Amino acid sequence: MTLSLRPLALALTLAALSAGCADKHIGRPCELGPASADGGTSTGTTATIYGQALECPSRICLLPNNETNSQTGPLCTDGCGSNDDCDGEGTGNTADHNQCHTGFVCMVQTEVGDFCCRKLCVCKDFVAAPNMITVPRSCMSGSGSTCKNVH
């Protein structure tokens, strides 16, 4: 009796490929946690980041700086290196204010705290000029920053 290893090899290959494409659920609505004093509204000057959101695979819930007075609420996010890392869910649904309508951009949201100078996927609904994103000077190497995420 001869056993074929093809089905096993195919199954292992598919498992390895699917493991590399984990859905980060960027854009899933989330709760900012007990530390959110503003109840999930952003005034435009301060980003609110909660790093223990159980509904987010990365555990990061973000209500970005609101440069555009967007009504979009806080969303799950994750770290990124480029915009290609920021494929999100729920984009384009204009009837649902809890979803991102215009897609995501990779950018720094804060220069202080645990997430200082860390690039995160941010809903473009909140960003006035999503095609003109720059890294803050204090987040650049050699800036003398004390941020733990500047290398």
Give CA 26 to chain center in angstroms.
Answer: 6
Give the mean pLDDT of the chain. Answer: 80
3-state SS of 65-101 is: CCCCCCCCCCEEECECCCHHHCCCCCCCCCCCCCCCC
Distance separating alpha carbons of residues 121 and 92, to the nearest angstrom: 16
Q: pTM for this structure?
A: 0.76
Give CA 17 to chain center in angstroms.
Answer: 23
pLDDT tens, position by position, 14-64:
444 444 456 789 999 999 987 554 444 445 568 999 999 999 999 999 999
Residue linked to tokens 């700086």: 65
In the chain, % of residues over pLDDT 90: 46
pLDDT number for residue 23 = 79
Q: Is 124 exposed, middle or buried (0-12, 13-18, 19+ CB in 10 A)?
A: buried
Residue linked to tokens 């659920």: 25
In the chain, % of residues over pLDDT 70: 72
| Structure-block tokens of residue 145 | 């920053």
pLDDT band at residue 124, thresholds of 50, 70 and 90? very high
| Mean pLDDT value of segment 133-149 | 90
